Amino acid sequence: MTIKAHEFDRVISKFEFKTRDSGDLLAWFEYRGKIITRTRRSKGSGELPMQHSIRQQMKLNENQLKDAIKCTLGKKEYIEILRQKGLIK
Amino acid sequence: MVQGIIQGTIKKDELPGAPLEDKADIQHLIDDLFGEISKTTRTKIQKDILLGSLRDGRLRVIFPFQVKFYIEEGKIVAEAVEINEFGFGNNWSEALADLQRAIAELFITLEKEKKRLGVDLKRVQKILQEKIVKR
């Protein structure tokens, strides 16, 4: 599967990642004041070549990322995934 | 089992005897294995390097990063596996330069935010501190 830039933006917006522009778009997920995960994407509007790396950084597997893109996996479920992986308590 | 994985017949619910908390990790592992074989176009290039510079005047690498290369969607991806950071480009040097920039950015960001890091990012920062010093 591939992920397009606008799909990436939709996912990080839905999960309420904070973002910063530093040449690339940097995004990080905070929970109760702690920074839990981070990722980034290059500028541009096409398909992103690093979907494997992006989802690794977001701690999602391929099916979960697909669900996030389809909007069937929301922030609440994302938090639960991170909790199951021991990344948040 | 291996044959089962390759043929895509194994299901998450069939994971043998895995504790609940490990299932996500195991699923992730299986997913990655599927990804290598069939789901994505990510192809490992059999050439790893040790990266000993970030081309950033502020920072010096004292212990090198192991970097693996992949071809993904026609682009070269360079990945520093220990810290789960990556760079990409149209060729090896572009990918490596992008990775160097990403590592430097990550080092500086994590330094600034060190009091607010979660478990995984604390681990990443610890590795970065072992490998990079400020000039």
Give the pLDDT confidence of B32-64 residue by residue, as tens digits.
554 443 345 678 887 799 999 999 999 999 999
Q: What tens digit of pLDDT does each residue of A31-46 get? A: 999 999 999 988 766 7
**Contact partners, residue B87, CB within 8 Å, separation at least 6:** B77, B78, B95, B96, B97, B98, B99, B100, B101, B102
Tell me how far apart the alpha carbons of residues B8 and B27 are, in angstroms, rounded to a whole number.
13
ipTM score of the complex? Answer: 0.89
Torsions phi, psi for A20 (to 5 deg): -150, 140
Indicate the angle between helix axes A75-84 and B20-34, nearest 10 degrees.
100
- Return the domain boundaries, chain B: 2-39, 43-134
Whether chain A has a CB inside 8 Å of the CB on B122: the answer is no
Put simply, the answer to whether B35 touches A38 (Cβ < 8 Å) is: no
| 3-class SS of residue A47 | strand
Report the residue from A49, A85, A86 with minimal CB separation from B77.
A49
Report the residue from A2, A42, A84 with minimal CB separation from B73.
A2
pTM of model > 0.80: no
